[in-house]
Amino acid sequence: MSTDSQLKWWQRPVRMMRLDYGPELQRIKDADLAALARSKRHDWHINCEWVIGSPGVAPGTGQYATFATPHFEQYPQLGDWDLIRNYLPHARREGIRVLAYLNMHWFSNEFAAEHRDWEQLLANGTPYGTAHPLYGSGTTMCVNSGWRDWAFKMIGECAKTGIEGVFLDGPVIFPGCCYCAACRVQFKEQHGSEPPAAEDWSSPLWRAFIEFREDSMAAFLRDAGAALKAINPEGVIFLNAGSWHGGSWRVARNIEKVGEFQEFNGAEMFFHPGPAANSPIPWAITAKHLMAGGKPAVVFSHHTLGAWHYIPLPPLEAKMAAAETVACGANPWIAVFDFALDHSREETLAPIKELFSFLDEHEPYYTATESAAETAVLYSRQTFTYYVSHLDDLFEDRGTGREQHLVADLGTGKKIRDWGKRKQISDAISSNEFSGWCVALTRRHIPYDVILDAHVTLEQLRRYKVVVLPNAACLSDAQIAALKAYVAEGGSVAASFETGRYDENGQPREQGALDDLFGIAQAAGAFSPAPNEEYVQVTAPSTAAPFPEGRLLPRSTYAMRVKAADDTAVPVYFLKPTGKVYASLQEVSDLAAQICRQTGGRTAYFPHALGDAYTRYRILDHEQWLAAAADWAYDAKPSISVNALPTVQVEIRRQENRVLIHLVNHTGDTQRPYHFLTPAAGIEVVVRDGKPSKAFMLRSKQDCTAQAVADGAWSYTLPPVAEYDVLVLEK
């Protein structure tokens, strides 16, 4: 853990914002710039601001600069007024670090017409922007084309204004791209062949093309950083690196590759109302994924109601985004659109200002902290990129299983053969597995870190008592060896579905590489997908399956047919399939639905996609089962445990002389966006590694009194938590 004096400004807590004027940037010319900067520092309590260096507005304006330069045309609405150089002295006077936002992905068709060899092309030679106009108009450029030198020139000219660094919005290698002349030449030089024209996951050349795209993004950022640092050696650079959601391979986003060349790992997690907005912790998962990259992280959040940029979010949603973010050790960022026609914007932003004020005042408690989690969840980029299940039965069309108007959607029963559709289904399983485990652990107050493929080494796994592998299907031989050595030394693993059944490039193994570790004696294909009416039954209750004997549980949609080895415990078995709706239950099969084994450490394995099922259906039994497996694998009482409603998010971080227990309250409204929260009362924190010298709530400023409980532990009953607070335990 670095000491405070060793940290650079960007390694300290950063509170970022962007005040956005959209296409009407000229409005800032009429503002009192000194008052504007003063308000941002003392009302908003930010210490880092993005100003527009090249606009990202219709009809595609990335070709314009907002600052004076002989090399680029200025944004027409600004005339010859230099936005950055006029504003920068005022921000500096207030101690605000200034970064320039550079739009690197959205350009006008007129600009593209002058540089036809720069555009990203689809395999048929059509420019991406012609086939798919960006935001309804405009096009995009390729990182391997001559445009890269244009982009580096823009970055260098922007750096000459005196800013501290740049944020690159894009570039993105868009889906189906790129087949421009530069990409074709480079790919052929590296692989001896033209890039493949169609998605084909059976082809090594297609997988090489996926890597080529991501490597191209990393090389662009490397050289962009060099262009910046040639002007300002201390300048920071980062791009919109994408989040953890399935399908990120389609836009060549991979923080493990670009992270090496940027000071921040940053990604959007904008709130969009609708059925998909059902996860209570979207910013937390994003923050942890970005933090796993080993760089300071920034989670980008809007104050707008999704895509309705002129309407603000309800106040609580804006506040919860920042609270979830900082609770996980990342930095908050808020975009504010300066277009409200009434007072609703100020009403919405008041909670954000209040929370940023709190973070500003208590900055030492957010400086140089590290996670105290003893559980890790693997985000397997290898799996997210290359996994296409080879279990043919998984791809039967079984519909949604829903019944409406006396009609049940049971699908056609036909096999899906299309590679693209099979990949979409596999991507959804991977994404849902990962998020399902993350949400279940959070709701059961099991703090966890996200780790990446590069962390699956014995040395780094030793940091944790439990490692969760949510359908980590694609693992290398070295990773398999590390996991086996970790368990042999006493570490524990909870895993699901096809974990370890493919190599790191998505090629199926003859036998699951972790079958012996998990206690799998035989694996014989898959069940047909079951969106309804199929079950598992508890036959031998245990702490790994905390349900009474005979209890029926809904079967996961996707499941394998697996028999357990003799030296294992099987608390739950699949029932034989009914194959119908409103049919009689069938008898218990000999196929295990959970296998528990202890060699050095413990392994709890689900031969089905339970995390996916929990994400799809949010069934309480599934949540309890996932968390119970992780608890059983842990096999001890944690040094700190928290008893609270499942709607209270708990994150534990530490500094040299204190432990910080972050509490984010989601209790209240039953729909998103939130409109109200109910204070969470009766939260109990139990400390088992010695009595702290002092305990107090950071936000409500209330001292907490310890009560002795069993086995030398100490218990604290906390005052109600409204939205967010931190219990500080001083050593």
Q: pLDDT tens across 267-276, in order?
A: 999 888 877 7
Residue 350: per-residue pLDDT: 86
Q: How far apart are CA 461 and CA 439, in angstroms?
A: 22
For the chain, give the percent of residues with pLDDT over 90: 81
Which of residues 19 and 376 earns the better pLDDT score? Answer: 376
Q: Phi and psi dihedrals of 588, rounded to 5?
A: -70, 135
**Residue 252 to residues 177, 184, 208, 216, 581: CA-CA distances in angstroms?**
10, 17, 12, 9, 42
Side chain identity at 122, as an amino acid letter? L
Beta strands in 216-274 (DSSP E): 236-239, 265-268
Side chain identity at 465, as an amino acid letter? K
Would you state the structure tokens that stand for residue 597, as one six-digit string?
Answer: 């084994």
Q: How far apart are CA 481 and CA 457, in angstroms?
A: 8
Does pLDDT of 349 surpass 90?
no
Q: How far apart are CA 324 and CA 405, in angstroms?
A: 41
Residue 343: per-residue pLDDT: 60
Residue 118: per-residue pLDDT: 98
Contact 545, 625 (CB under 8 A): yes
Helix (H, G, I), strand (E, B) or coil at 523: strand
b/e map 215-242, b = 16+ CB within 10 Å: ebbbbbbebbbebbbebbeebbbbbbbb
For the chain, give the percent of residues with pLDDT over 70: 96
Strands 16-20 and 331-337: parallel
Residue 396: per-residue pLDDT: 86
Would you state the structure tokens that stand for residue 156, as one six-digit string?
Answer: 């260098």
Please report the DSSP string for 128-190 in residue order: HHHHS-GGGS-B-B-TTSTHHHHHHHHHHHHHTTT-SEEEEE-----TT---SHHHHHHHHHH
Average pLDDT in the 47-75 region?
96
pTM of the model: 0.95
Q: pLDDT tens across 134-185, in order?
A: 999 999 999 999 999 999 999 999 999 999 999 999 899 999 999 999 999 9
**Residue 429 to residues 48, 245, 433: CA-CA distances in angstroms?**
38, 11, 6
Residue 408: per-residue pLDDT: 56
Average pLDDT, the chain: 93
Helix (H, G, I), strand (E, B) or coil at 370: strand
Strands 560-564 and 569-575: unpaired
What are the structural domains, with CATH classification, of the chain? 4-172+213-263 (3.20.20.80), 375-634 (3.40.50.880), 640-730 (2.60.40.1180)
Does pLDDT of 405 surpass 60?
no
Average pLDDT in the 62-70 region?
97
Contact 447, 284 (CB under 8 A): no
Average pLDDT in the 29-37 region?
94
Does pLDDT of 548 surpass 80?
yes
Contact 479, 380 (CB under 8 A): no
Residue 392: per-residue pLDDT: 92
Residue 711: per-residue pLDDT: 86
Within 10 Å of residue 569's Cβ, how many Cβ atoms? 17
Dihedral, CA of residue 330, residue 376, residue 609 and residue 589, to nearest 10? -160
Contact 374, 466 (CB under 8 A): yes
Q: How far apart are CA 659 and CA 651, in angstroms?
A: 11
b/e map 402-411, b = 16+ CB within 10 Å: eeeeeebebe
Residue 727: per-residue pLDDT: 98
Residue 612: per-residue pLDDT: 97
Q: pLDDT tens across 459-474, in order?
A: 999 999 999 999 999 9
